[in-house]
Structure 1
Amino acid sequence: MFYPPRGYKPLERQVRLGSGEERFESAAKALMTWGVQRGSGIQITEVDEGTGIQYEGIEYNPDGSPRGMREPRVSQDVFADGGSPFIRNGMSAVLRVQVGPFHFSAPVRVVAVVDEPNRRGFAYGTLKGHPESGEELFLVEFREDGTVWFVLRALSRPSNALFWIASPLLGAMQRRFTARYLRSLLPARAG
């Protein structure tokens, strides 16, 4: 496999959110309750809690031959202070996006959750009906120097012929929402 896969455009952006453990925890809570999307003006609808099971991949023998599937991890239910459930593996939602007079539905499914001492986040893949085909990773990092960063990575391409024709507009929309995403967790916005 090649990176990026043929026809997909990669994107990686990051922004410093501040410093300290309190800032990290605050940003991670906002991120894990759809704060990036909501803070960007996107409505989160039709949420399905999913299974909580995360794909772990194939286990290999020392000689490189496949042994079988790794045992999947199941994420625990976690809630923010206000009772909002944290994003978990297998969760799906429809993101409702408005651009001028146009409204778009963008169905997604969470394909991975990152829950490490210094990194929290999730990745989702697009589902049928989304204007784009691809995946996005949203990650908050607490780095060794004490700074807190929001990292966004994506791979995408238009999902069908209509969106290929409209790809200049789709690219402009992606740039606009990327800028909004990067501002969404800043202290003045996320609290």
Structure 2
Amino acid sequence: MVFLSWTRPTPKDQKDCINKSGTFNYDSKYRGVTAKPLSMLKEDKELSKDGFLINHSKILVGSGSDAYEKGKTALQTWRHFGLSWAFVDPKTPIEKGVKFCVCVKEFVPWLRMPLQIIYANETRSNKTSASFGFGGGTLGGHLLSGEERFSVEMDGDKQVWYEILSISKPAHPLSVIGYPYVFLRQKYFAHQSSDAVRKFVSSK
């Protein structure tokens, strides 16, 4: 099953996608794996053995506690998906168990891809270090199988970073055939999404 729309998906279209999506389309043993650091994922031989590829992007978007709070707000309001060709309903709450629909324009049709939030975490180790992030797992009807984390982090030097970390593999014949293209699109999304977050953080 693939969810296609010839015009920009309406709220009703997105809800229909979520209602028909069913359960997760990847092994439960990997549920929540993107909460781990990149270094641990690279050492996990099971991931590569099972056909998963790791995609990672980490970009400096600002500095200081105000920049961190704005970065957190950007994720909570889905500004990182505020693109002309990709979006998520900005009213979608960042809470464990919430299902959401990523809408992506590919050539003529729009793809609607269902996911569910696996976890949402915020940590504050001291006055100068904090992080906020959440991970979404793919559901039936998504072209890929896997999980993706979006996070913002303020390090000990008060620099604020936006990070995307995902594991994925094809879940549909279309993505099997075009996976090199899909992987490039993931890289392109990371670049555009980082720009969107950086602009929001730097805005007054």
Query: Is 1:96 matched with 2:140?
Result: no
% identical aligned pairs: 25
The count of residues paired between Structure 1 and Structure 2 equals 154
* TM-score where L is the length of structure 2: 0.68
In the alignment, the residues of structure 2 paired with residue 7 and residue 85 of structure 1 have an alpha-carbon distance, to the nearest angstrom, of 31
Q: Which runs of 5+ in 1 are unaligned?
A: 48-83
| Residue 86 of structure 2: aligned partner | 42
Q: Which runs of 5+ in 2 are unaligned?
A: 1-43, 125-129
Match of 2:157 among 127, 145, 148: 145
Change (3 A) 1:3 1:31: farther
What RMSD in Å do the two structures reach over aligned CA positions? 2.1
| Residue 94 of structure 2: aligned partner | 87
Residue by residue over 1:115-162, the C-alpha shift from the partner in whole angstroms, topping out at 9 and shown as x without a partner, is 122001100011111111110011100110010001110000111223
Match of 2:63 among 5, 19, 27: 19
In the alignment, the residues of structure 2 paired with residue 116 and residue 41 of structure 1 have an alpha-carbon distance, to the nearest angstrom, of 32
Give the AA of the match of 1:147.
Answer: Q
Query: In the alignment, is the contact (CA less than 8 A) between 2:54 and 2:168 conserved in 1?
Result: yes
| Residue 61 of structure 1: aligned partner | none
In the alignment, the residues of structure 2 paired with residue 87 and residue 190 of structure 1 have an alpha-carbon distance, to the nearest angstrom, of 23
| Residue 157 of structure 1: aligned partner | 169
Change (3 A) 1:142 1:33: same
Aligned to 2:47, what secondary structure does the other structure show?
coil
* TM-score where L is the length of structure 1: 0.73
Query: In the alignment, is the contact (CA less than 8 A) between 1:94 and 1:106 conserved in 2?
Result: yes
How far off its partner does 1:86 sit? 4.1
Change (3 A) 1:115 1:39: farther
Match of 1:132 among 119, 144, 149: 144
Query: In the alignment, is the contact (CA less than 8 A) between 1:125 and 1:134 conserved in 2?
Result: yes
Larger strand percent? 1
Aligned to 1:4, what secondary structure does the other structure show?
helix
Larger helix percent? 2
